[in-house]
Structure 1
């Protein structure tokens, strides 16, 4: 059959930008290959090559760098810098990510009101069961007459991590069932020719084999969306920070463009029109466009200049001094034996909360620790999330179970050397899911089978009693069961401390002036 018309459409996706506009490190001013300013240059180039281009952000736009932390916590009166950048770039829509709620509902809604594009999420509902943040989808039409339906979805696992006050009144419906409800509406009532699902979530199974790659908690349901929902042409994904670009055997095109603006996801659709059938997709092509070597767009550099200046001045504020060594030279060594940095963070949590037991993590392998002269820059470079603290009442059995789970971070290689378990690195680095504890003495032997690695765990000189209760201070992510620490989920909260931990650390150092870098050696990891 000879077509009476042909056309092409390009879909461009960013995801998990996490507050990155400019290609720089806030820890040390190093130039990096990332950021919206570089992505914008790629977007402009792509717009020149096809008749119709849609630009979509897939979520986690508003949180992640000192730039956005400063805006949220120090001076939120000006327009949101990430929204300013997205408006300038001409985004057509954004999907709500889990980190959009980190600074509270009021802050998020301010960003929504400043946006020149809709924020979509069909499965975030109000108590009446209707989409809470506006229409669940958006329909676009090209000059050639192709109708495109864009459905937004968000991981429904958010209540397991987020401060309940930040998501009050939001009902998190299942994304798969929501897609089954709305895609027929797009196809039959709206009469669209192309259905795009933009889901702030990732894949729970291997895309080639279908084998589970993580616990099937409902955090990531991308595989199910591809294989259990009829009528999806393109699935844009995120949340896992993976680099994915392929067309599945069933014809669904999927992309995931990493994080922090390191790449731009691209899907090119070729369509033909036949008089009897209308527009049909005849080919799909996916790719990830790296920003490496790309010049940043001057418009975003200019728009962010005043925000950058204020942020850099704030970051350079002196907080106090460290007497001794609290730097990080080897992230793995920090996680193998008690050390001054982790002990200090745990001690801050314990003193502020009054709890006798604490846990925390070294969130990222790039954490530099604290130099002799500490500024706000060093604090937010180490404590990178806007976590708050909760004191949770748990059983000794819960603590032992959590220690066994954290011990799975390590494995022993063929040479008897301790290495990081690959499941904590791929498909997404999860160093933040390895906890280190203060207030108890313990040893983990990772040469033993998983589930049998806690050689001992004592509180005040006595073995932890599985049936006794203990008050433990931890961040709100972990207290909600985040990282699959489900033994903490739903446990009584003895105390809620709503101030960001980075602010608590800054105030603690500032008030004392000088901090001693030491540790009591209460824990270690061995392979024997």
Structure 2
């Protein structure tokens, strides 16, 4: 090499792709991204393709390949392998379908999944092999290390806790980045952090502040050249002193292209320039080779999504949050009836599957059921105290206010609204928050066997620390609901007993 030789390296990053590999009405941006990546590779041999995580959950197609056909090779892994990704970060969403599902996806990937702070519980070693990878391009050594927001991991699949632990992001990053600099001596350090930037938050929610720690990483470590963030589904580029930080939105609607120029010195390399830009993929055609690769995968999902589950019309439409939290409702009754297919106890607890719930009505297909309940929640068989039941109800109705009979304030995530059956309870909204619930047939100091969704358990663990878990189900709520809808003899019969005084 000549003394003044320059080396240009292109780093392309995507984020939160959520397995949106269906095309047409379902979006096809991953195929457009493939076209752009090919174009850049034709112009420069030195390309590093990265993803910040969140590619395996969050869409109808992702649900199909994780729950309905988990034995098939995941099309998203096919696409990422074909596009020659160099590494991916790890999002908490990767664990949404369980540890074994994600582990299988990792084993089929021809690129590493990186997270320094997801560890074996016993040994505290990185769970997914090495937490970093080294790319050496014409003598320039580039280190890529992965981190996952420990705050985001708090409410994910609790069953993996016997094998996996999540170390604090900042603590882990200090240890590993110091190790990388001392042992690898890279010319350039890239950190893939699946967490966000607080400056992109539109709310002052304390939990969100705790899970988006990108600024803390830059301020505390001070040795990051490029920080790739995720989770917030926004597209953003910025600079903090010497650190360039980027976020590439979601679903491959856009991507970030970072151009890095090095100049060779006698025995070293000098970072000469780094520029980042947002790429709008609407200007690019779909990659035909990638479309051919997933042709049958897409057709399979499309066929399944249109399958009709019901023989008669269903009347379980939800007309807004007030419709379900003020009185018993057919949609929540359907959820109670479905969880009882797994554990048929007198008391059951379910939650609203999504915010802005619309329920189900008319003829129901797999796609419509997924839209109403898009999460792979499973039932849990557990024993809890009457006081814990009251505490959970108080939390929800303590964060809701009514004015002149109308819902006026909701500062609780709607999916944390719980509904109980087998309990006769009254909620008086005229009383002070956290003192509104009266349980008529439950004693606070007695123990009760309950069936509950794992989502309720994970999000109300602060009230369920001494709960006894007997068993966790293997069949998701969506599958249980589907069984009821397919049953020609099934009819929704209201059995809930609660009253809300406004």
Q: TM-score, normalised by structure 2?
A: 0.84
Aligned pairs for 1:111-260 (under 5 A) are 111-126=105-120, 127-143=122-138, 145-156=139-150, 158=153, 160-164=155-159, 166=160, 168-203=162-197, 205-206=198-199, 213-215=205-207, 219-238=211-230, 240-260=231-251
1:505 paired residue number: 481
For the structure 1 residues 409 and 247, does the alpha-carbon distance in structure 2 shift closer, same or farther, using more than 3 Å as the test?
farther
Partner of 2:390: 400
Give a deviation string over 1:497-519, Cα, whole Å, max 9, x none: 22111111112232344423757
Of residues 117-126 and 509-518 in structure 1, the stretch that sits farther from structure 2 once superposed is: 509-518
Partner of 1:492: 468
Which whole-Å CA distance do the structure 1 matches of 2:93 and 2:457 have between them? 17
Name the one with the larger helix percent. Answer: 2
Specify the alignment match of 1:107 in structure 2. Answer: 101
Residues in 2 aligned to 1:197 and 1:280: alpha-carbon distance in whole angstroms: 17
The partner residue of 1:389 within 372, 379, 390 is 379
- Structure 1 residue aligned with 2:359, among 369, 377, 381? 369
* Counterparts of 2:443 and 2:42, CA distance in 1: 67
Alpha-carbon distance, 1:84 to partner: 0.4
Are 2:14 and 1:14 equivalent residues in the alignment?
A: yes
Distance 1:457 1:415, change over 3 A: closer
Q: Is the 8 A contact 1:326 1:341 kept in 2?
A: yes
Cα distance in 1 for partners of 2:282, 2:349 equals: 38
**Which residue number corresponds to residue 433 of structure 1?**
416
Question: Structure 2 matches for 1:446-525, cutoff 5 A?
Answer: 452=433, 455-460=436-441, 465-480=443-458, 482=459, 486-489=462-465, 491-516=467-492, 522-524=498-500
Q: Structure 1 stretch 471-480 or stretch 262-271: which is displaced more? A: 262-271
When residues 52 and 125 of structure 1 are mapped into structure 2, their CA distance, relative to the original with a 3 A threshold, is same
Paired with 1:89 and 1:502, the residues of 2 have a C-alpha distance of 33
Report how far residue 378 of structure 1 moved. 2.6
Counterpart Cα distance in 2 of 1:407 and 1:35 = 41
Partner of 2:317: 327
Check whether the contact 1:367–1:382 (CA below 8 A) recurs between aligned residues: yes
Task: Work out the CA distance in 2 between the residues paired with 1:248 and 1:467.
Answer: 56
CA positional deviation for 1:76: 3.6
Change (3 A) 1:366 1:21: farther
Task: Work out whether residues 20 and 26 of structure 2, in 8 Å CA contact, stay in contact via their aligned partners in 1.
Answer: no
C-alpha distance after superposition, 1:340-367 (max 9, x if no partner): 2122112322454233333333333576
Instruction: Report the CA distance between 1:160 and its aligned residue.
Output: 4.4
2:427 maps to what in 1? Answer: 443
| Unmatched segments (≥5 aa) in structure 1 | 25-30, 425-429
| Alignment pair present for 1:75 and 2:64 | no
Q: Displacement of 1:235 after TM fit?
A: 1.9
| Offset, 1:21 | 0.8
Cα offset for 1:320? 2.5
Residues in 2 aligned to 1:70 and 1:488: alpha-carbon distance in whole angstroms: 32
Which residue in 2 is equivalent to 1:95?
Answer: 89
Q: Give the distance between the partners of 1:465 and 1:375, measured in 2 at CA.
A: 42
- 8 Å CA contact 2:235, 2:254 repeated in 1: no
Contact 2:262 2:269 in 1 (8 A): no
> 1:56: which partner in 2?
50
Residue 384 of structure 1: CA displacement? Answer: 1.0
**Is the CA contact 1:322–1:517 (under 8 Å) kept in the aligned structure 2?**
no
User: Structure 1 residues 435 and 40, CA, compared in 2 at 3 Å: closer, same or farther?
Assistant: farther
**1:387-445: CA deviations, max 9, x gaps?**
21113333344333323433466567999862544xx6xxxxx5433434444434363
- Superposed CA RMSD in Å reads 3.7
Question: Is the alpha carbon distance of 1:11 and 1:504 closer, same or farther for their aligned partners in structure 2, counting shifts above 3 Å?
Answer: same
Matched residue, 1:309: 299
User: CA offset at residue 272 of structure 1?
Assistant: 4.5
Say which SS state the counterpart of residue 436 (structure 2) adopts.
strand
Give the drift of 1:86: 0.7
Alpha-carbon deviation of 1:216? 7.9
> Partner of 1:22: helix, strand, or coil?
coil
How many residues in Structure 1 have an aligned counterpart in Structure 2? 497
In the aligned structure 2, how far is the partner of 1:44 from the partner of 1:454? Answer: 61
1:400–1:454 contact (8 Å) kept in structure 2: no
1:28 is matched with none
